[in-house]
Structure 1
Amino acid sequence: MINMAKAKYLEVASELKKRIEDGVYSKQEPLPDQEAFAKEFNVSRLTVKKAFDGLERQGLVYKQSGLGTFVAGEIPIKSQIDAPANAFTGLQNQLGKDKIKSKILHFSVEFPDEQMQRNLNLKANEPIYNIIRLRVYEDHPFIIEHTFMPIKLVPDLDEKILHSSIYNYIHQKLHLKFGHAYRKIRAQKPDQYDIKYLDAKADDPMLELEQIIWLTNGQPIEYSVSRNRYDARDYVLLDNNRF
């Protein structure tokens, strides 16, 4: 049964991932079609498609035009710290709600400077949230996220939500959908936040993800920079030539 408290496609993806890992579906063999899963889980075909898309980003399945969706074989270079570079689901949904905690390092409301006005397509008098959070994974410091969001798109954000999941609040309470994102991944030297909160040494490389996320209507809803120590997380992208 689908848990209505969680996005339906995530529940479908979680169940299919378990079946793949348990060997219910054989590697290099096609999965049942979307219509079959839609009937089984009592969801729409679009929900199943989104679940398939999420599994593809994780490298668990691959799609072939006109042939369907197939179970992928083992990826020898895959590791536990791999994270899809093109995911929109947030850490709690990626790694587990009970495994991720958030510590608020900074939370304020302010007016955007010129750069943030350009990043979020705002006027100078339109306020934004300025949020810095330490994300803790299984009780270990994991990622520092510095996030800016327009108040007009994400009203009533509070510390309770920041300790949980901002993305779940946006999707499930505000009923907003992400459309596309531009992401830039680079190596950086550690700053004082990295040293203090991520236990980084002065010569540890840091992995930085800078991004802007837009809603389906084209409005930018987030500008953020996330940083983790070099040995904490990798970003991966699965390419599939479907032609």
Structure 2
Amino acid sequence: MYLYWEIYSDIKKDILTNHYRAGKPLPTQEVFARTYHTSRLTIKKALRMLQDEGLIYTKQGSGSFVRAQAPDDDKELLPLDAPIGVTYSHRDQKITSKLLYFDARLPSATEQKNLGIKSNEPVYDIKRVRLVNGHFYSLEHTTMPTNIAPLDKKILKGSIYDYLGSKGVQLTDARRILYATEADEETAEALQIKQGSPVLVIEQTAYDQEGHAFEYSVSSFIRDHSRFVLNIHRRLPDLPH
């Protein structure tokens, strides 16, 4: 496992257990570098992951601060501006997965294009229903190259991103396309809703820390059980000294 991933996990644990409190500054990169006996570049990577996850934010010239957690009525919000999954966006809730299908096959033309692979490179074909606190949340149809990491049914019952992280594959960027549609027969049956019910669809191509596409997914979300948020940040010019 990469050192920055271990540092990220350690700081994240301290944030979630209130060792570092909301609104308070984190130690500087220099202090973290001395604490973990590493470089500022490694610390910067770990802090970037925490920022992408919405746990911290930065102030120009003042460092990094712990972000206040969303109020109880906003716990189900999934940030559209950060490349994270349900396990992280709902980190204080019970996330379970129901595996509907798992196999390996050759990719379609669309999958080849989005994953940047050739027609003879096999992919995993995964269909899962995700549940939040026992309630149906989404239907995920995911494909990823089989050479990324070995997968099995036990792994797919949990967080794929956590597992890939342990193998050194980090989700750092994602391209998302959103649109509304009606639930087809398969989606309706999987989510236990009426066929033709409105659903929000997110097509995502996920990229690792080296810029390689490792996942193409199409996820359908139940209208009444999911909400999304887009945070917009404007970087201001540095103030003159």
Length-normalised TM-score, structure 1:
0.78
Moved more, 103-112 or 61-70: 61-70
- Percent identity among equivalent residues? 34
By how many angstroms is 1:9 displaced?
Answer: 1.3
CA 1:56–1:238 in structure 2 vs 1: closer, same or farther (change >3 Å)?
Answer: farther
Tell me: CA distance 1:102–1:231, structure 2 relative to 1, closer, same or farther (3 Å): same
Determine the structure 2 residue equivalent to 1:100: 95
SS where residue 235 of structure 2 aligns? coil
* Alignment-derived partner of residue 185 in structure 1: 178
Q: Distance in 1 between matches of 2:93 and 2:37?
A: 27
1:122 maps to: 117
Q: Look up the equivalent residue of 2:115 and give its one-letter code.
A: L
Cα deviation, 1:28-76, whole Å, max 9, x if unaligned, reads x644433445566778655654564455456564322223234557878
CA distance, structure 2, for counterparts of residue 179 and residue 116 of structure 1: 20
AA in 2 matched with 1:176 = V
1:224 maps to which of 179, 192, 217: 217
Aligned to 1:132: 127
Give the length in aligned residue pairs.
233
Distance 1:74 1:210 in 2: 27
Instruction: Give the partner amino acid of 1:19.
Output: N
d(CA) in 2 for partners of 1:30, 1:51: 16
Find the counterpart in structure 1 of residue 154 from structure 2. Answer: 160
Correspondence 1:1-243 to 2 at 5 A: 7-19=6-18, 24-25=21-22, 27=23, 30-37=25-32, 45=40, 49=44, 52-53=47-48, 56-57=51-52, 61-70=56-65, 79-96=74-91, 99-154=94-149, 156-172=150-166, 174-202=167-195, 204-243=197-236
Contact 2:25 2:63 in 1 (8 A): yes
1:17: how far off? 4.4
Listed one character per residue, the Cα deviations across residues 148-176 of structure 1 (whole Å, up to 9, x for unaligned) are 0111223x21111111222122120x222
Separation in 2, partners of 1:100, 1:44: 35
SS in 1 for 2:121: coil
Following superposition, the deviation at residue 222 of structure 1 comes to: 0.6
Partners in 1 of 2:45 and 2:114 — Cα distance? 28
Aligned equivalents of 1:60, 1:122: Cα separation in 2: 34
TM-superposed deviation, 1:220: 1.4
Is the 2:77–2:89 Cα contact (8 Å) retained in structure 1?
no
Report deviation, 1:199: 2.9
Out of 88-97 and 231-240, give the one that drifted further.
88-97
Give the C-alpha shift of residue 126 in structure 1. 1.2
Distance 2:52 2:120 in 1: 39
5+ unaligned residues in a row in structure 1: which ranges? Answer: none
CA contact (8 A) 2:172 2:209 kept: yes
- CA distance 1:236–1:118, shift in 2 (3 Å): same
1:90 deviation in Å? 3.3
The letter of the residue matching 1:34 is Q
Q: What RMSD, in angstroms, separates the aligned Cα atoms of the two structures?
A: 3.3
TM-score, normalising length: structure 2:
0.78
User: What's the counterpart of residue 239 of structure 2?
Assistant: none
Any conservation in 2 of the 1:62–1:240 contact (CA below 8 Å)? no
Which SS does the other structure have where 2:18 is aligned? helix
Residue 134 of structure 1 deviates from its aligned partner by 0.7
Cα distance, 1:117 vs structure 2: 1.5
User: Contact 1:120/1:221 (CA < 8 Å) preserved in 2?
Assistant: yes
